[in-house]
Structure 1
């Protein structure tokens, strides 16, 4: 027996050694792949970080491109508005200042004739701020068009004032005559101040310096010979004769009935461009804006602002990049380029001859990447140490005791009275409990065997029931998903059908009339061609053809303009939340401007307001102006349709320190009760087929909720008028989700 017990003990030791070897092999098999995975993870993190850095460079460059193009678009739109107003005033002089206004201004020293400055520094500051100054050379006094140019230039000043108030980065706005003997300049600058700035002693000499514009010669640059395409152009950078530093000008040739009548322009300082291209330490790379001649208009390091001269790209770019021809760098656009040590990206700026150039070195890329992944080795080392500590703890406290426990259980099957092995104290109660329950287990197994067969049958039955219930449930879920999909598609098709029906109905009439009139004119042209070929054309027939053609073209243009207005309204239904610039403004002044504008169309005596002075809002004035214009136009179309005259009243009061209530009311015919719940829905109108598109109040609703961050309500009684109440925050939120998004 002693010999048998000795063999058993020896076999047990051999088994434990074998189990230890297997466990160590298991640890090696786990640690080695983990280390390989950690190394691959480090390489992957570096590659991902490099891709992220390059993507962030392109993303930031696109943001800078968008910021510059917004500034360029604002300047271009400013000159377009001035050009339309100048053309209208020159063709229709009655649209300019009337004789009463001229006589009133004459009391303040404003002249309509003579050389030099016509407004004069003695003009009241309020008028001077809104009119700028007119300069007339002595040689211009004999020109027959001078009076018309002076009247048209005076009519431009209010639009210039409004643009400069909305966009402070406009430094000068002006009109140059094609003869270079007359100019209007905004804002106001006294004749003596301009002579001092230009270093001249006479008006004629001063105007020569002004028309030279730092050597850019705007009138000659935009003349028909040098600009036959009649394009807007930006000048090269120059120093302002008025003393406002380095700047660049946007020029627009002005034509009236194909006759070159002058040049409109606006100046922007390079400092403003530098502020648009602010440096951001969170992004890799350096940025600058250059033109095709290599002039630098802005850079994110501030060199353009600090320099006393107009910089060239060779003064700013690193030496290695200056060895590459600038034209070659600018030719490859919208993709990241490299020459080994340097990377660059070129993005064109729409509306100009400029390019945004972003560059960075390979060393900067590596430094940025190393900065981002600097903690990765320490993280990997910590994970490795944690893995080793966990492996040792598992081995000592869990694996080896577990192996001994397995061996102990194996021995208990043959000998329930076997002794417990040496294990950590934490395991000793478990081994004792295993020994105590060994005998109980043997007895219990006998009883369990008797019940196992019955239990298996019960489990099999329950399993079949669960499978059947699961099949029924899966079929129900599939039916619900199919029904849900059908409902969603049904809602989509219903909404699409409503939209298509509304658009088709509104566009059918003007387009149909246009097609009919087009075919009529085509038939008239065919008949005229046949008579010309047959040489039977008479003067009366030709006159009748001209009369019919003129009437047909008027009908055609009127219906096409109506269709264009409908399409424009449909496009406005989805409110663009980035179309308006945010700023702080006075509500009373904004409402007054709206009343002055709408009063021209509907009569100034039909619009009244009660707005407290000094009520400031930090919001989107363009969006609020559109809301007021639509409400006033809606009242004119619907509220007063059955009346000869009516009154629209605009009032505003503070609700608390953060909210105000703006009310637009009328004394018109009112809204029927059954229509009140639908007036803000798209394409709902009571004037269907009579010029109403059903989009005006829907646009108002979307702007108030999604742009201004407020809400709008309506109350009305038939025969007593309507009242639209807008509850607006004094400080509009950055972005508000539209009701459709919710």
Structure 2
């Protein structure tokens, strides 16, 4: 979700990697006799995280669908109670979710944020019913976040109400107006009614590259809203990539299907991603040659200053386009042995590069 900071803890992923051997010093390119199998295993582990993320996002959406389909009756006192909880800033109304007579929680406090981006001076029955359903969903979002605290969990209704966990102050929440026009909402796969994935994007307040899973919620043919989960990519990628390096000069990195640099094990490569993206204020660094990048016709895109990685990625993506999307790729590029494994959920590639001959 753009315009805010994210805090990612990947202890669950780390434990899983230990269980399969990727978080152990013995599981590296240097001492593995089967680097292709190792690359495939590493890609599968990242893919498993994305599949779990998608499943939890879908579950949140289905629970909201159930709550919205069985609205509780509106008592006479409820409208006044919700109005008493309301604070307005421009066209955005926030509803307090913390104990009375206490200060507004700080950023990322363990409270939900509940907002209406509707231009209403009163609360109509349809809005109240959605607020009730969202309020009933809070324990689900809290439990989902606590089970795997990657980043924010949130739900946006089709008429611009929003529930998010953990807390985002009203002063920052206003930047999501209107939420139904934002990347995280539009990223849902409405056509197939399945979880959709945004392209990787840069969190503008310092977290780095992120991706969002978004699930469209329908009751029959009526769109109720979109459930979403974010994940910060750096720690996810590094928890795997750091165990795929070669002490004699090999490295590993991840790119999307266009060659956008997601992350790299090599410190110089990783630093370049951060420097270029920060300067351009968007996900802008590609591991593509100048000609290949020009063919993509992307605004603000930049090629890496490391020509060797651009050359390798050009050949990896060209080969990938000519074979089945799930096939491993094995190449020899300028004296370097290269293995690339697809990450199926997102269409990305995990690339392992051996040391130069």
Q: Deviation string for 1:152-207 (max 9, x for gaps)?
A: 222222111112222122x111112234x322221111112x06xxxxxxx4xx23
Distance (whole Å) between structure 1 residues aligned to residue 124 and residue 348 of structure 2: 39
- Is residue 110 from structure 1 mapped to residue 85 from structure 2 by the alignment? yes
Q: Aligned residue for 1:570?
A: none
Task: Provide the TM-score with structure 1 as the length reference.
Answer: 0.35
TM superposition shift of 1:361: 4.5
Change in CA separation of 1:133 and 1:319 when aligned onto 2, cut-off 3 Å: closer
Change in CA separation of 1:239 and 1:335 when aligned onto 2, cut-off 3 Å: closer
Task: Provide the TM-score with structure 2 as the length reference.
Answer: 0.67
Distance (whole Å) between structure 2 residues aligned to residue 258 and residue 172 of structure 1: 28
1:185 pairs with one of 164, 172, 178: 164
Distance (whole Å) between structure 2 residues aligned to residue 241 and residue 68 of structure 1: 24
Change in CA separation of 1:168 and 1:126 when aligned onto 2, cut-off 3 Å: farther
Q: Aligned residue for 2:197?
A: 234
Alignment root-mean-square deviation, CA = 4.0
Q: Deviation string for 1:322-362 (max 9, x for gaps)?
A: 55372434554224233462332222223323222222244
Q: Aligned residue for 2:156?
A: 176
- Contact persistence 1:236–1:295 (CA under 8 A): no
Distance (whole Å) between structure 1 residues aligned to residue 332 and residue 158 of structure 2: 47
Unpaired stretches in structure 2, ≥5 consecutive residues: 1-28, 278-282, 289-303
Distance (whole Å) between structure 2 residues aligned to residue 358 and residue 101 of structure 1: 62
- Is residue 67 from structure 1 mapped to residue 38 from structure 2 by the alignment? no
Q: Aligned residue for 1:307?
A: 274
Change in CA separation of 1:361 and 1:115 when aligned onto 2, cut-off 3 Å: closer
Give matches, 1:614-629, under 5 Å.
Answer: none
- Contact persistence 2:153–2:165 (CA under 8 A): yes
Q: Hey, which of these two has a bigger chunk of strand by percent?
A: 2
- Is residue 222 from structure 1 mapped to residue 188 from structure 2 by the alignment? yes
- Is residue 268 from structure 1 mapped to residue 231 from structure 2 by the alignment? yes
Rg bigger for which structure?
A: 1
Distance (whole Å) between structure 2 residues aligned to residue 246 and residue 323 of structure 1: 22
Distance (whole Å) between structure 1 residues aligned to residue 87 and residue 65 of structure 2: 20
- Contact persistence 1:292–1:327 (CA under 8 A): no
TM superposition shift of 1:268: 1.0
Q: Would you say how many aligned residue pairs link Structure 1 and Structure 2?
A: 292
Q: Aligned residue for 2:331?
A: 337
SS of match in other structure, 1:222: coil
- Contact persistence 1:254–1:264 (CA under 8 A): yes
Change in CA separation of 1:244 and 1:100 when aligned onto 2, cut-off 3 Å: farther
- Contact persistence 1:209–1:241 (CA under 8 A): no
Q: Aligned residue for 1:207?
A: 176
TM superposition shift of 1:98: 9.0
Q: Aligned residue for 2:319?
A: 328
- Is residue 346 from structure 1 mapped to residue 340 from structure 2 by the alignment? yes
Higher relative contact order (CA 8 A, sep 6+): 2
SS of match in other structure, 2:344: coil
- Contact persistence 2:316–2:340 (CA under 8 A): no
TM superposition shift of 1:142: 7.8
Change in CA separation of 1:144 and 1:290 when aligned onto 2, cut-off 3 Å: farther
Change in CA separation of 1:352 and 1:143 when aligned onto 2, cut-off 3 Å: farther
Unpaired stretches in structure 1, ≥5 consecutive residues: 1-50, 196-202, 364-742
- Contact persistence 1:277–1:298 (CA under 8 A): no
2:69 pairs with one of 91, 109, 121: 91
Distance (whole Å) between structure 1 residues aligned to residue 334 and residue 186 of structure 2: 45
Q: Hey, which of these two has a bigger chunk of helix by percent?
A: 1
Distance (whole Å) between structure 1 residues aligned to residue 339 and residue 333 of structure 2: 12
